[in-house]
Structure 1
C-alpha cells in the first residue's frame, strides 16, 4: 500500500469515527494518535499477527489493537465502500466490454468464482451448517473480477456447506439479472439481439446464456485453442483471489472471531481496500487504447 493511500484511509476513518482522534483523558494524558491506531489495525489485517505482538511497535494494548481493527473495517466500508465496492455503472461497463473484446471475448463482463474462508472459532451449534466438503467450517466469498484484478462484485456470508449451484441461486448478481437490473449491453449475434453480457465460469455452473462455461473435453484444434484461451482469461478471478489473500493475510488464515458480523466487516473492508490499491496502481494508459468513454 502506498503512503498516500494509507493517509487517505486514515483521513477518511478519522472523519467518520471520532475514536481515531487524538484526545486527552481526565488526567491530561495524551491518547494514541490516529497513525498508531490505523497502523496497528492495517498490520493486523495485512500480516494476520495477533494483537499482543503489535504492542511492541505501536505501544498499544491488545484490546485497543482489536478495537482499532474492527472500527477501521466499519469506517472503510462506510466511507470508501460506495466508491470502491459499487456495481458497474454505464461507463464501467463500456470500459470492461472494450478491454475484454481486445482480449478475444467480446461482451464479457468478468470472471466469476468463489473461495472458502475457514472459520476456526465457529460456534459448535453452527458447525454442521458451516462444514464444507473437507470437514472444516468455512464461509464462502463469491466475486466477479476483471483483467486488472478489480473486484466488481463480492458476496460473502454463505455457509460452507453450499456448492457452486446453491451459491448461484442465491447470488445477487443473478438475482439482478433475473429482475432486469443487469449492466446495459446491446449485442446483435446472428440476427438475434441480446441485452445482457456474460461471465466466464467453470463447468459446474448452470448452462445459462449469461454464463460461458469451460469446455470439459475439447475435440479438435479449434475447440482446444478456444478452451485454452478461455481458461487463461478465466484465471483473472483466481489471480484476484491470490492477490487479495497475499495483501490481506487475515483472509488467508483461519478466522478467530466468534461473530459472523465481524467476519463480514473484515472481508468487505479487505475487498474495498484491495480495490483502492488496484485503482492506485492501475496504469494510466489503460484508458488510452482507442475506446475512451
Structure 2
C-alpha cells in the first residue's frame, strides 16, 4: 500500500487490531496476480513435429535448412546429445500429470534466438512457450552445447586440419593462408559462395565478444586468448624456410674500393 495511506492509518485514532486489518486488506487487494495462459503445449508440439520432423513433413528439407540454419539430421543429432546430457530437455509431467514442453519446442526456440536474434516471446504464438522458459532453455542449451561439443569443435587445428585448410585456401585463390582472424570487413552479399574465404565447413576456432565498437584490432590482440599459447612457447611445430635478399648500397660500397 502507499506510504501516505499507511502514515494516515498510523495517525488515525484507531486501535492496533483495526490498523493491522486495514493494512493487510490493502496489501492483499493491491497485490498483482500472475495471469495464467493456457497455451495447449501438446497441440503445439504436434504441429511442430508434423511441420518439420515427421516422416513426410509439411515443409521439405530445403525449407528446414533455411529456417533452422542446419539439416534435420544435424538437428536430431544435437537433440539426442542434449537430451542425454541435460535432463531439463526431457519431456516430463508436471504436478497435475500434464506433459510439459518437449525438447523439440525448447531447442527450436533456442536455435531461432541464436540464428536470428529474435525476441524471447517471438516464438510464443507458434511454439507456445513463455518468455521465462525461453530464457532458461537458451541458457541451458548453450551450456550443454559447449560442454558436449567443445573438445571436438572449439579447439585449435591439429596438423591434419592445418593441411586440409591450406589445400582449401589455395584452391580458392589464397595460397598459404590458414584463415582470417578478422572477417568483419568482408561482405559476401552478392559474392558467389565458391569464392568465400571461410573453410568449407565454416570452422571457427576463436571467438571474442564485446560491446559494439570496442573490438578493434588492438583490444582483441591484448585481451583475446588466441595468442596465449604463442606467448607461453606452446605453439605447434611449423617447418618454414626464409629467403634473405641483400641489396648493396652502391655509393657506400664505392667508398671502400
TM-score range normalised by the length of the shorter chain: 0.5 to 0.7
Task: Report deviation, 1:21.
Answer: 0.5
Q: Which runs of 5+ in 1 are unaligned?
A: 117-144, 193-293
Look up the match of 1:89.
158
Provide the C-alpha distance between the structure 1 equivalents of 2:178 and 2:159, rounded to a whole number of angstroms.
12
**1:113 maps onto 2:182 in alignment:** yes
Please report the TM-score for the alignment, with normalisation by the length of structure 2: 0.56
**1:57 maps onto 2:126 in alignment:** yes
Query: Which of 177, 199, 206 lines up with 2:230 in the alignment?
Result: 177
Provide the C-alpha distance between the structure 2 equivalents of 1:66 and 1:60, rounded to a whole number of angstroms.
10
SS of corresponding position for 2:99: coil
Q: Is the 8 A contact 1:90 1:184 kept in 2?
A: no
SS of corresponding position for 1:112: coil
Look up the match of 1:67.
136
Once the two structures are superposed, the pairs formed by residues 183-194 of structure 1 within 5 Å of their partners are 183-190=236-243
- Which has the higher relative contact order, 1 or 2, with Cα contacts under 8 A spaced 6 or more apart? 1
Alignment RMSD (CA, Å): 2.7
Please report the TM-score for the alignment, with normalisation by the length of structure 1: 0.50
Deviations 1:86-145 (A, max 9, x none): 1111211122233334456544321111659xxxxxxxxxxxxxxxxxxxxxxxxxxxx8
Q: Is the 8 A contact 2:79 2:103 kept in 1?
A: yes
Task: Report deviation, 1:60.
Answer: 1.6
Look up the match of 1:17.
86
Q: Which runs of 5+ in 2 are unaligned?
A: 1-69, 186-196, 246-257
Q: Is the 8 A contact 1:96 1:109 kept in 2?
A: yes
Q: Is the 8 A contact 1:88 1:183 kept in 2?
A: no
Provide the C-alpha distance between the structure 1 equivalents of 2:79 and 2:71, rounded to a whole number of angstroms.
12
- Size of the aligned set, in residue pairs, is 164
Once the two structures are superposed, the pairs formed by residues 156-171 of structure 1 within 5 Å of their partners are 156-157=209-210, 160-161=213-214, 163-171=216-224
Q: Is the 8 A contact 2:106 2:134 kept in 1?
A: yes
SS of corresponding position for 2:182: strand
Provide the C-alpha distance between the structure 1 equivalents of 2:220 and 2:124, rounded to a whole number of angstroms.
40
SS of corresponding position for 1:82: helix
Provide the C-alpha distance between the structure 2 equivalents of 1:182 and 1:44, rounded to a whole number of angstroms.
36
